[in-house]
Chains A and B, each alone.
Chain A
Amino acid sequence: MRFLLSDEQREFGRTLNALLGAAGTPAAVRAWASGDHKPGRALWARLAEAGVFGLAVPEEHGGMGLLPLELTVAFCELGRHAVPGPLAETVAAAVFLHRLGDGAAAGEWLPRIASGEAVVGLCAGSPYALDADAADTVFVIQDGVARRTGRHGPVQPSLDPARRLSRPLDGTVLVRGPAVAAAAAPALDLARLVTAAQSLGLGRALLTATVDHARQRTQFHAPIGSFQAVKHRLADTLIGLEFAQPLVHAAALAVAAGAPAAGREIAAAKVAAGEAAYAAARTALQLHGALGYTEELDLSLWIRKARALRDAWGTPAECRARVLAGAGASAEGPL
């Protein structure tokens, strides 16, 4: 056993971290929230160039094949920088298209997803599609029917302005019947997995920013980070994130191996990472005080996203129920 990321995987994460750190990401998030998708699309193209979207696209369509572990590494960095856009949706749509057996749709969209040319929405289990106004197309999975549409209703303001929600409208039917559910299951599991990874990175960034603040901010003639109440809250935040991370990696390994327990491993990872990142957001807000409650501070971009990611592609309650579905049947493995 070697339950550690390889040097190459670590390097991939470092490269993305450096790229996103130097790309003016917070400004792109703010522009995205106001409906200006240009800086976000430019960022999207650079991520594609770095290979992010190809990690969910088969080789025959210009990708690397499905590499779940590398996807979690990438999405952790996307979360760390609060990158806007239908990121989980696009990679999940790639898996859906590959599995759906609609050769024309796959041939049309998968190469464009891999190259970053296409920003793709995915709507399933919710009336809303994320960022349909920015997407080139939206795939809709509803009542055993797969549709594709370019039309959507008005954007509904949400608690995270950089997550723009709207109802997809009309569309062309691609496939009907049991093939839809069969293709949707692994796609939705992947959306859940990469959302967990995104939460993890988001939580790490919130913790780092808050630790920095607690070391610098002085009250009662001492850095507030020297007070035990502050320290312990930050320690608990780190503990939550540290114990969520191996769940995310193990879930990715389970997907890669096609393990029967993969869905339950993913659900466990989603609960742990989503809750840990949300707790990190609460800690960040509390320890930054009134400053943290302002939109002006870039920290708000991370704080707002934490709640949305916690609930996207599987609320904690749904995921907890999934963890126990079949648990204890020993053939399913350790979880």
Chain B
Amino acid sequence: MDLDFTPAEDAFRAEARAWLAAHVPAAPLPSLETAEGFAAHREWERQLAADRWSVVSWPEELGGRGASLFEWLAFEEEYYAAGAPGRVGQNGISLLAPTLFEHGTDAQRARVLGPMASGEVIWAQAWSEPESGSDLASLRSTAVRTAGGWLLSGQKTWSSRAAFADRAFGLFRSEQGTARPHQGLTYLMFPLDAPGVTVRPIGRLDGKPAFAELFLDEVFVPDADVIGEPGQGWRVAMSTAGNERGLTLRSPGRFTAAAGRLTALWRSAGDPSDTALRDRVADAVIGARAYQLFTYAHASRLAAGGSIGAESSLNKVFWSELDIALHETALDLLGPYGTLADDADDAPGQGSWADGYTFSLAGPIYAGTNEIQRDIVAERLLGLPKGRRA
């Protein structure tokens, strides 16, 4: 058992660190949940891609560096330690790309991945519907066969980044009256500026349009934009949900960097006699380290030929609650400045605590609510009987 990176991995880390030190913007970019910030973040993606840092784990011919899982983890640690901007391309890179690698055609990969890596095309996800949240398989938006493709109709919602994104991917019902609800679904990609698409931005808690509703009225999608077999969409979507996504949706580097910033804030602004607050800072440091080590163990298991299934649900609950606790502690440390928005003139320059706080509040809800994750942990890892949800 060891925690050692190889010399090659260390060299990779050093190269990333040097590049980031030379390129990370000195002042934080405007919030990526605004039109101006979205454009600035897109430009940052272009810069990353130009030097092949946007998708390091992809093969070289697709703009990556063929990085191993451990190199990717090292890159992420460096990325967030450097205070680099949030990744506006994340939905595509962490959710759609793994699906294309596993289920896409060569033609789809050739067409979609390049512009995704460069930020030229930013992807939004289209899973939830007004009546289908945790019970995603009950979704009702339809894909109806037409000459050379499909016509999409219905309503999608809580579509992250869709207010400013270019394209979206999601599940649609292509067959009615199947024996079980998760049958007869098809995984499709579609442009958000196509005829028949209406995007209505939704303000999140702080008013920024971080997500949107999508109204679809017979939107034409060619056969070439179906991923996997029609009717097999559920299997296609879920195959990458446990394995890759559990590990790559939120990398430990985010939290180790945030815990480091929190510790610095506590040293500068904390009251040494306030041991209650000190304990919460310590818990954030411990939690971030635990998540990092847990991920190293997972990565080791994958590297040894193992797989990850329901274990990713442990991750999701842990990091989402850690993220909130960490940001709440920061806000408390900032006292009267804690509630200032990042773009307030008086906001202290201690990192993006207010924006991060608002973002963290969504963590227990998206990517499968923590209630659903706890059901999965209880049923699949502990072997408890299925309850009324089934």
B297 contacts A226, C-beta separation under 8 Å: no
B385 contacts A242, C-beta separation under 8 Å: no
> Which residues of chain A are near B300, meaning CB under 8 Å?
1-4
Mark contacts of A227-239 with chain B using CB atoms, 8 A cut-off: 1 yes-contact digit, 0 otherwise.
1101110111011
Closest to A225 in B: B384
Interface of A is mostly: helix
A235 contacts B289, C-beta separation under 8 Å: no
- Interface segment, one of B18-26, B126-134, B276-284, B342-350: B276-284
The answer to whether the Cβ of B70 comes within 8 Å of any Cβ in the partner chain is yes
B1 contacts A335, C-beta separation under 8 Å: no
The answer for the CA separation of A242 and B314 in the assembled complex, in Å, is: 8
- Report the minimum CB–CB distance from A255 to chain B (whole Å): 13
> Which residues of chain B are near A211, meaning CB under 8 Å?
382-384
B296 contacts A1, C-beta separation under 8 Å: yes
Known interface pairs A228-B375, A235-B317. Does A246 touch B383 (Cβ–Cβ under 8 Å)?
no
> Which residues of chain A are near B260, meaning CB under 8 Å?
328
The answer to whether the Cβ of B110 comes within 8 Å of any Cβ in the partner chain is no
The answer to whether the Cβ of B2 comes within 8 Å of any Cβ in the partner chain is yes
> Which residues of chain A are near B294, meaning CB under 8 Å?
242-243, 246
A215 contacts B2, C-beta separation under 8 Å: no
Closest to A69 in B: B1
> Which residues of chain B are near A327, meaning CB under 8 Å?
263, 285
Known interface pairs A243-B318, A246-B290, A321-B282. Does A2 touch B374 (Cβ–Cβ under 8 Å)?
no
Closest to A240 in B: B318
The answer to whether the Cβ of B200 comes within 8 Å of any Cβ in the partner chain is no
The answer to whether the Cβ of A268 comes within 8 Å of any Cβ in the partner chain is yes
B5 contacts A1, C-beta separation under 8 Å: yes
A232 contacts B256, C-beta separation under 8 Å: no
The answer for the CA separation of A272 and B388 in the assembled complex, in Å, is: 33
The answer for the CA separation of A231 and B301 in the assembled complex, in Å, is: 27
B282 contacts A324, C-beta separation under 8 Å: yes
- Report the minimum CB–CB distance from B353 to chain A (whole Å): 17
The answer to whether the Cβ of B158 comes within 8 Å of any Cβ in the partner chain is no
- Report the minimum CB–CB distance from B273 to chain A (whole Å): 12
The answer for the CA separation of A323 and B6 in the assembled complex, in Å, is: 27
> Which residues of chain B are near A6, meaning CB under 8 Å?
1
Chain B: residues with Cβ within 8 Å of the partner, total of 55
The answer to whether the Cβ of B299 comes within 8 Å of any Cβ in the partner chain is yes
B1 contacts A268, C-beta separation under 8 Å: no
> Which residues of chain A are near B70, meaning CB under 8 Å?
1
The answer to whether the Cβ of B292 comes within 8 Å of any Cβ in the partner chain is yes
The answer for the CA separation of A10 and B334 in the assembled complex, in Å, is: 46
Known interface pairs A223-B385, A247-B289. Does A4 touch B282 (Cβ–Cβ under 8 Å)?
no
B283 contacts A320, C-beta separation under 8 Å: yes
The answer for the CA separation of A196 and B292 in the assembled complex, in Å, is: 19
Known interface pairs A5-B1, A69-B1, A321-B282. Does A226 touch B384 (Cβ–Cβ under 8 Å)?
yes
A234 contacts B378, C-beta separation under 8 Å: yes
A323 contacts B285, C-beta separation under 8 Å: yes
The answer to whether the Cβ of A250 comes within 8 Å of any Cβ in the partner chain is yes
Interface set, chain A 44-86, CB cutoff 8 A to B:
69
The answer for the CA separation of A9 and B287 in the assembled complex, in Å, is: 26
A226 contacts B385, C-beta separation under 8 Å: yes
The answer to whether the Cβ of A334 comes within 8 Å of any Cβ in the partner chain is yes
The answer for the CA separation of A222 and B260 in the assembled complex, in Å, is: 47
> Which residues of chain A are near B3, meaning CB under 8 Å?
1, 3, 250, 253
The answer to whether the Cβ of B62 comes within 8 Å of any Cβ in the partner chain is no
A268 contacts B289, C-beta separation under 8 Å: yes
User: Which listed residue, A69, A227, A228, A244, touches B371 by the CB 8 Å rule?
Assistant: A228
User: Which listed residue, B9, B374, B386, touches A232 by the CB 8 Å rule?
Assistant: B374
The answer to whether the Cβ of A271 comes within 8 Å of any Cβ in the partner chain is yes
The answer to whether the Cβ of A214 comes within 8 Å of any Cβ in the partner chain is yes
B314 contacts A4, C-beta separation under 8 Å: no
- Report the minimum CB–CB distance from A117 to chain B (whole Å): 31
B282 contacts A323, C-beta separation under 8 Å: yes
- Report the minimum CB–CB distance from B330 to chain A (whole Å): 14
A2 contacts B2, C-beta separation under 8 Å: yes
A243 contacts B291, C-beta separation under 8 Å: yes
The answer to whether the Cβ of A249 comes within 8 Å of any Cβ in the partner chain is yes
Interface set, chain B 239-292, CB cutoff 8 A to A:
256, 260, 263-264, 266-267, 275, 278-279, 281-283, 285-287, 289-292
The answer to whether the Cβ of A317 comes within 8 Å of any Cβ in the partner chain is yes
Known interface pairs A228-B375, A324-B278. Does A3 touch B387 (Cβ–Cβ under 8 Å)?
no
> Which residues of chain B are near A243, meaning CB under 8 Å?
287, 290-291, 294, 314, 318
A231 contacts B374, C-beta separation under 8 Å: yes
The answer to whether the Cβ of B303 comes within 8 Å of any Cβ in the partner chain is yes
B293 contacts A232, C-beta separation under 8 Å: no
User: Which listed residue, B285, B286, B383, touches A215 by the CB 8 Å rule?
Assistant: B383
The answer for the CA separation of A268 and B287 in the assembled complex, in Å, is: 9
The answer to whether the Cβ of B304 comes within 8 Å of any Cβ in the partner chain is yes
> Which residues of chain B are near A335, meaning CB under 8 Å?
285, 289
The answer to whether the Cβ of B379 comes within 8 Å of any Cβ in the partner chain is yes
The answer to whether the Cβ of B308 comes within 8 Å of any Cβ in the partner chain is no
The answer for the CA separation of A243 and B379 in the assembled complex, in Å, is: 19
> Which residues of chain B are near A244, meaning CB under 8 Å?
290
The answer for the CA separation of A321 and B381 in the assembled complex, in Å, is: 34
Interface set, chain B 1-36, CB cutoff 8 A to A:
1-6, 9
B292 contacts A334, C-beta separation under 8 Å: yes
Mark contacts of A251-290 with chain B using CB atoms, 8 A cut-off: 1 yes-contact digit, 0 otherwise.
0010000000000010010011000000000000000000
User: Which listed residue, A5, A231, A271, touches B282 by the CB 8 Å rule?
Assistant: A271
The answer to whether the Cβ of B377 comes within 8 Å of any Cβ in the partner chain is yes
> Which residues of chain B are near A317, meaning CB under 8 Å?
275, 279
> Which residues of chain A are near B314, meaning CB under 8 Å?
238-239, 242-243
Closest to A247 in B: B290
B282 contacts A239, C-beta separation under 8 Å: no
> Which residues of chain A are near B381, meaning CB under 8 Å?
235, 238
11 example contacts (A-B, Cβ-Cβ < 8 A) are as follows: A1-B296, A3-B1, A3-B2, A3-B3, A235-B373, A243-B294, A246-B290, A250-B3, A268-B290, A320-B278, A328-B264
Q: Beyond the given A1-B2, A3-B293, A223-B385, please list 10 additional residue pairs across the A-B interface where CB-CB is below 8 A.
A: A5-B1, A211-B382, A226-B384, A226-B388, A228-B371, A231-B375, A236-B317, A239-B318, A247-B290, A250-B293
Q: Would you list the 8 A-B pairs with minimal beta carbon distance, nearest first?
A: A246-B293, A320-B282, A231-B378, A235-B377, A235-B374, A225-B384, A243-B290, A226-B387
